[in-house]
Amino acid sequence: MKNVCIIGGGAAGLMAAYAASLNGHKVVVFEKNEKLGKKIYITGKGRCNFTNDTSPQEFMENIVRGKKFLTGAIYSFPPQKTIEFFENHGMLVKIERGNRAFPVSDHASDVTKALERAIVSNGVEVRLKEEVQSITTSDKIPMSDIAGKNTFFIDTNSGRYSFDEVVVATGGVSYPTTGSTGDGYKFAKEYGHNVTDLRSGLCGLNLEGAWFKELQGLTLKNVSITVKNNEKLVYDDFGELLFTHFGISGPIVLSASSLINRLPLKNLKITIDLKPALDEETLDKRLLRDFEKYKNKQISNALCELLPQKFISILLSSCGISEKKNVNVLTKEERKQLVKTLKFFPLKIKSLRGFEEAIITSGGIELSEINPKTRESQKIKGLRFCGEVLDVDAFTGGFNLQIAFSTGFAAGNSI
């Protein structure tokens, strides 16, 4: 039996604690907050989309960074095992659109309660309001020393403890008020690990200008977005887009942000197709029909069946057409311009939203320095990392929590 320290009582740390305790070890979880799983409470808008009930193959397609590194963990502890885990620990599960898994109660707190039940019944000790300040070891025995063994000293705000094995599950830096303040990066650097550039992932985009402020609160459903980097396609998808006081957000924008957060924004060309179901020719015919119907009206009234009212003046100003212009004097060129702009409405991105609002931290501990099977540091024996602190991230849909569960299970189970 070993003495195991888990730093961080979030999704990854709690699953690591569970797996290590299943193997008969004496496990202590240190959590700096007054309660476990503070971030879990706000996931999925308070409902916690805790995994995606899909095959491991499809799961891998939703990973943005760390696909190869995560393969073993996802195949060994796939979404179905997560669902089974929660059902076995008293939480009823439902599957919604896009295979998204939620607790039947729609309460994210049930996810944390189930994790807590699982670890407490296995004898895991939870130390709340105890922040780990440093991890030290006298010998620094590397992984290559098969027979060697490190003893780790953990200093917290309450005292000093010694352990045989340490799992760092401190999360990233997004939503820092939940406790994810990047402490794990500091611990990793102290043992010679590299931390890749940290960027916001799954976040809104700040746009140039101020025109979008008028559209604040407007959701465009069934639109598509295309992002090109110097004419090379980076992303295109179809769905919902939301205008905000800073620019744009919504599901398709969040996904786009994770793919562009390392690209030079000035090279990017982003366009919205406001009518993706109609090609240019069909859209032109549709405009002709509407213009015939509203031939004695102003153009701003003639577009009311095609677009939300708020968007019409933005579209017309982007085309250089006066809102007051009568439909019957609109030129063919102006109509063609309207079609083009409806299909390729251009946006200029200023920057990505900050970590305070990013759902995920893109970047983290360099994966080549971590054993993909055991999540153990290649530099120091007995030190493991799991969850968002690693350089891994995925799209929305329950994939990020599943990564935390799979890597947490792998880290704990390998002890």
Ligand X SMILES: Cc1cc2nc3c(=O)[nH]c(=O)nc-3n(C[C@H](O)[C@H](O)[C@H](O)COP(=O)(O)OP(=O)(O)OC[C@H]3O[C@@H](n4cnc5c(N)ncnc54)[C@H](O)[C@@H]3O)c2cc1C
DSSP 8-state symbol, 196 = P
68 contact partners, CB below 8 Å, separation of at least 6: 372
Kindly state whether residue 5 participates in binding ligand X, applying the rule CB under 6 A.
Answer: no
Determine if 44 is a binding residue for ligand X (CB under 6 A).
Answer: yes
Are the CB atoms for 226 and 235 separated by under 8 Å?
A: yes
The nearest distance, CB 37 to ligand X, in angstroms, is 7
Q: Applying CB under 6 A, does 171 fall inside the site for ligand X?
A: yes
Which residue's CB is nearer to ligand X, number 314 or number 359? Answer: 359
Task: Single out the residue of 360, 365, 380, 392 in contact with ligand X (rule: CB under 6 A).
Answer: 360
Show the site string, 368-407: x = touches ligand X by CB under 6 A, - = not: -------------------xx---------xxxx--x---
Residue 274 CA to residue 293 CA, distance in Å, equals: 21
- Smallest separation (angstroms) from ligand X to the CB of 245: 18
Separation of alpha carbons 393 and 174, rounded Å: 12
For residue 172, give the nearest of 182, 160, 163, 164 by alpha carbon: 182
Strands (E), 244-390: 247-249, 268-273, 345-347, 349-352, 360-362, 383-385
**Identified binder of ligand X from the candidate list 33, 206, 258, 377, rule CB under 6 A:** 33
Q: Is 163 in the site for ligand X (CB under 6 A)?
A: no
Specify the stretch interacting with ligand X by CB under 6 A; choose among 73-81, 175-183, 304-312, 335-343: 175-183
CB atoms within 10 A of CB 272: 21
Question: CB 53 → ligand X: shortest distance, Å?
Answer: 12
Count residues near ligand X (CB under 6 A): 37
Nearer to ligand X, 224 or 402 (CB): 402
Q: For ligand X, which is the closer residue by CB, 347 or 389? A: 389
Residue with tokens 């305790």: 21
By CB under 6 A, tell whether 166 contacts ligand X.
Answer: no
Cβ nearer to ligand X, comparing 250 with 398: 398
**Is the distance from CB of 392 to CB of 290 less than 8 angstroms?**
no
For residue 234, CA distances in Å to 207, 257, 258 come to: 18, 11, 11
Q: Are 338 and 321 in contact (CB under 8 A)?
A: yes
Considering the complex, state which of residue 28 and residue 215 has its C-beta at the smaller distance from ligand X: 28
Give the DSSP H/E element, type plus range, for residue 160: strand 160-163
Residue 363 lies near ligand X (rule: CB under 6 A): no
Minimum Å gap between C-beta 258 and ligand X is: 12
Give the span between the Cα atoms of 310 and 298, in whole angstroms. 16
Least distance to ligand X, CB of residue 307, Å: 31
Residues making contact with ligand X (CB under 6 A): 7-13, 30-33, 38-39, 42-44, 48-49, 131-132, 169-171, 174-175, 179-180, 183, 359-360, 387-388, 398-401, 404
